[in-house]
């Protein structure tokens, strides 16, 4: 979850929040468009097949230190499926 944690920290800073998610300055107001974009990015990361519990040791989708694009993962899945069918 290192990728997610790094992106979460960056998102909090970008939104003007501290590490607890509390406004870092007095009079802070949410930027709805920025918040929406940040949440989409974080959701994309946590639902990616290479992140979290979906990744298993020895999994063909696993590549330490690199996060594949969704397209690359789809291609690998299709290739895998074609070998077992």
Compute the average pLDDT of residues 26-46.
89
Compute the average pLDDT of residues 3-12.
89
Q: How many structural domains is the chain composed of?
A: 1
Residue with tokens 């940040």: 38
pTM: 0.55
Q: Give the domain extent around 9.
A: 2-84
pLDDT exceeding 90 applies to what percent of the chain? Answer: 29
pLDDT at 45: 80
Q: How far apart are CA 49 and CA 67, in angstroms?
A: 10
Contact between residue 14 and residue 38 where contact means Cβ atoms under 8 Å apart: yes
């Amino acid at each position: 979850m290192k990728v997610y944690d790094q992106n979460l920290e960056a998102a909090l800073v970008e939104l003007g929040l501290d590490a607890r998610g509390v406004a870092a300055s007095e009079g802070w107001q949410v930027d709805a468009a920025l918040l929406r974009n940040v949440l989409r990015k974080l959701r994309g990361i946590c639902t990616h097949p290479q992140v979290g519990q979906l990744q298993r040791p020895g999994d063909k989708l696993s590549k330490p230190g690199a996060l594949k694009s969704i397209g690359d993962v789809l291609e690998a899945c299709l290739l895998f499926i074609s070998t077992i069918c």
